[in-house]
Amino acid sequence: MSRLDAPAVLVDAAKTQKLHSQDDRSQPIPASLETSPQLQYDLAIVGGGIIGNTLAVALQNSGLRVVSIEAQGQSISVAKSRAYVLSMLSGQIFEGLGIWQAVLPQVTQFSQIQISDADYAGVVKMYPQDLGTATLGYAASHEVLLNALQTKLQTAPSITVMCPAQVVAVEYSSTGAEISVQTPDREVPTKIRASLVIAADGAKSALREQAGIATTGWNYWQSCITATITPEKSHQNIAYERFWYAGPIGVLPLADGRCQVVWTVPHQQAEELRDLPEREFLKELEHCTGGLLGKLELDSQRWLFPVKLMQSQQYTAARLALIGDAAHCCHPVAGQGMNLGIRDAAALAEILVAAHHAGEDIGSDTVLKRYANWRKPENWVILAFTDFLDRMFSTSILPIVIIRRIGLFLLDRIPGFKYLALRLMTGLAGKMPQVAKIVS
């Protein structure tokens, strides 16, 4: 019985994205899977991106039978050319999960965060001592993070990884769900059963749509251009956020001396920037970064992403929980989106493990409600914070310009303000998952 009379089919199996079978790091799916007793799981995680895999790793010693299902071959999913701001809390969660040793040597630790407003001379400089910590956060590449999680999962005997394998339909009942999974080696989808399904299938989550979960939010008037650059001057591990009237520009220091640029401007201007000849693009970039890093060289393609804010009206439905971008998306200013997803995964794992040990049904409404009650309000705070930042700074209306410059002045002069802002940005302000407390 599929829920709410919604069609059980997520994707037409005949039209599924090409599943790449020649991926040497994929775990082979047992030939006997269709009849194997292993077909019954406690939990099926749909989506093996950073967030789905964080949850899988967090459940590795839980005693729960977990299957992780990812449509893209492993070598394809790691090959995303993107770097993220990784918050201090996310670092602590990864440390608690046992992947930090593999990640830390390959990330940059921020020695300073600099915030500036267009051509206003005052620059707010934030140092680790403002927070009483050794750093203010990290810049980590997608490849490093996903590789570390995938490697951990390969040695986790309690987790079955189906990859490449695409979920094409889910049918829910009062006790669980039947999931149809299309793999490259079979004509017909394999059926598996689980007590609880986790949608970690990204912003366009088909599972969320099929469950009839509505979303709140809007598309911004801006798009985001990302690119990797080599600066003439050393980045000195400083993370820069410079607000222009068109939108913010973030420059993240990478471990190899290069920088990742995340540049938000109105849609048309973003397209123009993407299509400019390389030298002209770099000239614009050198101007907008205020010459901080000297002459710049372009080291990657320019990628363009429309920007949106989205919050799912419910994080759970019967036998289903949403995490990561499937549950929410925010403006990339301040680099928060993935960090929220990592917290979702850690919080949900904690709740499920406790419920399992207490003999509760992990897919019951009572248990799932605890997750929604924890994470939804906290995510609203950050969604609102990023929206406020973008709207406050992406405007040249004089009274707003004056107010925000007074705000920056106070932020720079009053230690308590800096401390509070840093607590929020580093993820240390909300309810802390147990796994992060172990190392804090």
Which one among 60, 210, 339, 394 touches ligand FAD, defined by CB under 6 A?
A: 339
CB 220 within 8 A of CB 283: no
DSSP string for residues in 265-328? EEHHHHHHHHHS-HHHHHHHHHHHTTTTT-SEEE-SPPEEEEEEEEEES-SEETTEEE-GGGTE
Which one among 206, 213, 285, 355 touches ligand FAD, defined by CB under 6 A?
A: 206
CB 344 to ligand FAD: min, Å: 9
CB atoms within 10 A of CB 119: 8
Which one among 325, 356, 367, 433 touches ligand FAD, defined by CB under 6 A?
A: 325
Nearer to ligand FAD, 91 or 324 (CB): 324
The reply to whether 150 sits near ligand FAD by the rule CB under 6 A is: no
Which one among 26, 62, 314, 336 touches ligand FAD, defined by CB under 6 A?
A: 336
Which one among 96, 137, 176, 332 touches ligand FAD, defined by CB under 6 A?
A: 332
Here's the x/- map for ligand FAD, 20-59, by CB under 6 A: it reads as: --------------------------xxxxxxx-------
Which one among 197, 224, 259, 383 touches ligand FAD, defined by CB under 6 A?
A: 224
Amino acid type, 33: L
The reply to whether 436 sits near ligand FAD by the rule CB under 6 A is: no
Which one among 189, 335, 363, 427 touches ligand FAD, defined by CB under 6 A?
A: 335
Q: What is the C-alpha separation between 75 and 300, in angstroms, rounded?
A: 19
CB 20 to ligand FAD: min, Å: 11
Which one among 60, 68, 77, 160 touches ligand FAD, defined by CB under 6 A?
A: 77
21 Cα distance to chain centroid: 26
Nearer to ligand FAD, 124 or 162 (CB): 162
CB 101 within 8 A of CB 389: no
Site for ligand FAD in 237-266 (CB under 6 A): 262
The reply to whether 430 sits near ligand FAD by the rule CB under 6 A is: no
DSSP string for residues in 133-186? SS-S-EEEEHHHHHHHHHHHHHT-TTEEEE-S-EEEEEEE-SS-EEEEEE-TT-
3-state SS assignment for residue 24: coil
Which one among 42, 70, 117, 390 touches ligand FAD, defined by CB under 6 A?
A: 70
Which one among 176, 202, 248, 433 touches ligand FAD, defined by CB under 6 A?
A: 202
Here's the x/- map for ligand FAD, 79-118, by CB under 6 A: it reads as: -----xx---------------------------------
Q: Which two tokens stand for residue 195?
A: 């007590």
Amino acid type, 172: Y
Nearer to ligand FAD, 82 or 405 (CB): 82
The reply to whether 362 sits near ligand FAD by the rule CB under 6 A is: no
CB 350 within 8 A of CB 434: yes
Angle made by CA atoms 48, 210, 176, in degrees to the nearest 5: 70
Please return the burial class of 22, using the count of CB atoms within 10 Å of its CB with bins 0-12, 13-18 and 19+. exposed
Site for ligand FAD in 277-306 (CB under 6 A): 305
Radius of gyration for the alpha carbons in the chain, expressed in angstroms and rounded: 22
Place of tokens 């403006």: 331
Q: What is the C-alpha separation between 112 and 115, in angstroms, rounded?
A: 10
CB 400 to ligand FAD: min, Å: 25
Which one among 56, 126, 136, 167 touches ligand FAD, defined by CB under 6 A?
A: 167
The reply to whether 190 sits near ligand FAD by the rule CB under 6 A is: no
Q: Which two tokens stand for residue 241?
A: 């956020």
CB 207 to ligand FAD: min, Å: 7
Residues found near ligand FAD in the complex (CB under 6 A):
10, 46-52, 69-72, 77, 84-85, 166-167, 200-202, 206, 224, 226, 262, 305, 324-325, 332, 335-339, 341
